[in-house]
A and B are shown apart, each in its own frame.
Chain A
Amino acid sequence: MPKFPSAEWFQEVRDVATQNDGLRKLGTCDAVMGVKVGDQAIELTFEAFDLVNIREIQPAELANIDFYLDAPIETWREMLDNIKEHGKADLKHTLNTIDFLEPEGFAKSNDQSRKDLFYRYLQTFQRFFDASAQVETDFATPQPV
């Protein structure tokens, strides 16, 4: 069972999301998205109709990519548990709703124009995370502060 967050977990989600041209049907998506959970960071490169590269990076490198999703592990876990329970995010757990509710936003970037890619390809990213409903997930235990 892959651990969240890890390159292995995202690879499994990618494999589910791209089945039956799942992402292709939504149109092209060209963006480099980061995922930040605590001091862990993953870089996901979406190109054309696929997620073509997944790699673990240092959090400092997030400054160089288009945008990254940043939230405490509790928020990620609630979202992914909700997706698991319903087969996809319900009304209160979509990426965009979380972005609205998080005081500092869920999607972050130094460049608003690159951050807008999150909203431009929202359907693709939502479909991608919704695919995690079919992946067994082991959540990393948060480190005590």
Chain B
Amino acid sequence: MALDPKILEQLRQEPDMPELDLGWLGAQTAPGMAAKPGRRGLTLAEINVGDYGDAPERTDHNTIRIRGSVPSPNAVRIGYFIPNKGDIWSDNSGRIYEEAVQRQWSSATDIPWDTIKPLPDVVEEAICQICTFLTEVEFVAGDAPGRWIGQISPDHFETVLFLITQVVDEARHLDVFRKRALANGCGLLEAGGMGRALRNIMDAKDFSEMSALMHLVGEGFVQTMFRTGEFIATNEAEKTIFQLCAQDESRHVGFGVMHLRYVLEHQPERREEFHSYLDKAEELFGHPTSMNVAFQESLMITLGGGDTDKGLVMLMALQKKQVTEYLHRLKVAGMPERRERLHPGMAMFL
């Protein structure tokens, strides 16, 4: 939109005002932009047009300049961002972000807490043990992506927005399982001590490594666990908790699958690197230092409705489903060969 030169001149010569620079006027890189809402409203997809939509393959400015704005000669650097788009990108992050914002829920008011009734002690304690485990897992699942947010360039802001929703999701998961544990007379039980599998995620030195370990392995397995949670629920409150958490977790898994696919398509030389990350994760599956006996026994009790033999069979079925779905996701992402390299400790569940 052009400004009338007469008005500009008038502004510059206003006697009681300091002389204005106004150099920023008319600096826009894509004048005439007029994004229109689509069926989903005015989403990131609708405004990602022209230069605004082109996330650069590489970014080196290290300032807070957000994609599409005009460089300022006075800008200071605020850190070193990960420069390569391929290292942090996923083509679905904008859509998942919008979806996450729309599908937020409150553990305080969206869970029918009044449906929780007294349960037999062993069942209540088993549920509380599961909740204890999940609060720890969700703590790490929020902490890990949080560590990477500050390292992603504003030119690649979609990934940042997605990660922020993940942190919020995991915070809610932590609090909802804590609330369930404290809602019916038992409370939190034995801590797992943050097994090596969780430690692995925290130790990741590369974003893609973190994503592989957390989104594909950890959250993939937890998503299956949440879906199973709907089966072990003893009331509407627990059912709602697990259903909503499974939805959230599926978005995180979706990001991980698409990130891996993007990396393999744009940086095919990294394939073996990914295998090494997965090797590290898989060898811990079932390893003594990763075992959480209290969690597994509590699952057996709840799955079997008190019959631990039946519960063991169902737990094995759950683990088979976790491994099968993990391999299917890797196949979709472009790593079908992973099935042949699967660690024996994990392959035994197939």
List A residues at the B interface (Cβ < 8 Å).
26-28, 30, 47-49, 91, 94, 96-97, 99-101, 111-117, 119-123, 126
Q: Which A residues are in CB contact (< 8 Å) with B258?
A: 113
User: Which residue of B103, B227, B239, B329 contacts A119 across the interface (Cβ within 8 Å)?
Assistant: B227
- Nearest B residue (CB) for A27: B102
A112 pairs with B331, CB closer than 8 A: yes
Given A28-B99, A119-B247, verify A91-B332 contact (CB < 8 Å).
no
Give Cα A113 to B215, complex, Å.
13
**Bound: A113/B333 CA distance, A:** 8
Q: Is the interface of B mostly helix, strand, loop or mixed?
A: helix
B307 at the interface (CB under 8 A from A): no
CB closest chain-B residue, reference A112? B328
23 contacts between A and B (CB under 8 A): A26-B103, A28-B98, A28-B102, A30-B95, A47-B39, A48-B39, A49-B39, A49-B40, A96-B227, A96-B230, A96-B243, A96-B246, A99-B227, A100-B227, A101-B231, A112-B328, A113-B333, A114-B332, A116-B254, A116-B329, A119-B246, A120-B99, A122-B243
User: B325 an interface residue at 8 Å Cβ cutoff?
Assistant: yes
B39: A residues at CB distance < 8 A: 47-49
Known pairs A48-B40, A111-B328, A113-B328; list 16 more (Cβ under 8 Å). Answer: A27-B102, A28-B98, A49-B40, A91-B233, A91-B236, A91-B239, A94-B230, A94-B243, A100-B231, A101-B231, A111-B332, A113-B332, A116-B250, A116-B329, A120-B99, A123-B243
Name B residues whose Cβ lies closer than 8 Å to a Cβ of A. Answer: 38-40, 95, 98-99, 102-103, 223, 227-228, 230-231, 233-236, 239, 243-244, 246-247, 249-251, 253-254, 257-258, 325, 328-329, 331-333
Residue of A nearest to B303 (CB): A100
Q: Please give, as numbers and ranges, the residues of chain B lying within 8 Å of A48 by CB-CB distance.
A: 38-40
- Complex interface: chain B residues within 8 A of A91 (CB): 233-236, 239
Bound complex: CA A49 to CA B102 (Å): 11
Is there an interface contact between B250 and A120, defined as CB atoms closer than 8 Å?
Answer: yes
A120, B250: Cα distance in complex, Å? 5
Shortest C-beta distance, B112 to chain A (Å), equals 12
Which A residues lie within 8 Å of B40 (CB)? 28, 48-49
Q: From DSSP, what is the main secondary structure of chain A's interface residues? A: helix
A97 is contacted by which of B230, B325, B329, B332 (Cβ under 8 Å)? B230
Report the bound CA distance from A116 to B233 in whole Å: 21
Q: Which residues of A contact B333 (CB under 8 A)?
A: 113
Chain A residues with CB under 8 A of B227: 96, 99-100, 119
User: Which residues of the other chain, A, contact B244 by a CB distance below 8 angstroms?
Assistant: 123
**Residue from B250, B325, B329, B333 with most neighbouring chain A CB atoms (10 Å):** B250
A122 x B328 contact (CB < 8 A): no
Contacts of B236 in A (CB 8 A): 91
A88 to chain B, nearest CB (A): 10
Q: Knowing A97-B230, A100-B230 are in contact, say whether A120-B332 is a contact too (CB < 8 A).
A: no
| Interfacial chain B residues near A115, Cβ < 8 Å | 328
- What residues of chain B lie closer than 8 Å to A96, measured between beta carbons? 227, 230-231, 243, 246
Q: Flag if A120 contacts B98 (CB, 8 Å).
A: no
In the complex, A113 Cα to B120 Cα: how many Å? 39
Bound CA span A105–B275, Å: 29
For the complex, give the distance between the alpha carbons of A70 and B257 in Å.
25
Evaluate contact between B254 and A120: CB separation under 8 angstroms: yes
| B99: contacting residue among A27, A113, A126, CB under 8 A | A27
Is the CB–CB distance between B332 and A27 below 8 Å? no
The 7 A-B pairs with the shortest beta carbon distances in the complex, nearest first, are A112-B328, A27-B102, A120-B250, A48-B39, A27-B103, A113-B332, A119-B250
Chain A positions within 8 Å of B328 at CB level: 111-113, 115
- Residues of chain B within 8 A of A113, CB atoms compared: 254, 257-258, 328-329, 332-333
Chain B CB within 10 Å, residue with most, of A91, A99, A115: A91
Inside 8 A of A28's CB, which chain B residues have their CB?
40, 98-99, 102
Tell me which of A94, A99, A114 contacts B239 (CB under 8 A): A94
